[in-house]
Structure 1
Amino acid sequence: MAELKLFLGFANFYHQFIHNYSEIVLPLTRLTRKGVPWNFNQRCRDSFNALKKAFTSAPILHHWEPNRQITVETDTSDYAIAGILSITTESGELHPIVFHSRTLC
């Protein structure tokens, strides 16, 4: 349990670089709740592996340019909310500036 909490603390530091972070990490955070029996099942393993993959393939975030058009995208589910703030580049492509997500449970 202590090792999982350490890993989640490390992961949380980088949450703004990972799209849908809260949704990815939800099975692991549920394990750390008081009174929840330890059951590191396949869903937890998938969550752990998805998080590790996100660390190695997270997109490079663009810096803020106040004269560029921005786009805010949001997404919700029964247990999480998420948003992406993106900038429109000179070539007309959307490039993320920051990701945000949090669990509702």
Structure 2
Amino acid sequence: MTHLLEKETPFIFSKECIDAFNTLKKKLTEASILVVLDWNLPFELMCDASDNAIGAVL
């Protein structure tokens, strides 16, 4: 995808691209399921902050 940032690079929106886009859209818009954290498994806490907001992801 980084090649698309170059000048005059053609973008071919094939059936495969449409399928991938629709899959991504579905995954991002369906309800998330929360589960209890299993403390026996490793996990990583990632966070980000700015002047206006703060966010965290397990």
TM-score, with normalisation over the residues of structure 1?
A: 0.29
Relative contact order higher in (CA < 8 Å, ≥ 6 apart): 1
Higher-helix-fraction structure: 1
TM-score, with normalisation over the residues of structure 2?
A: 0.44
Higher-strand-fraction structure: 1
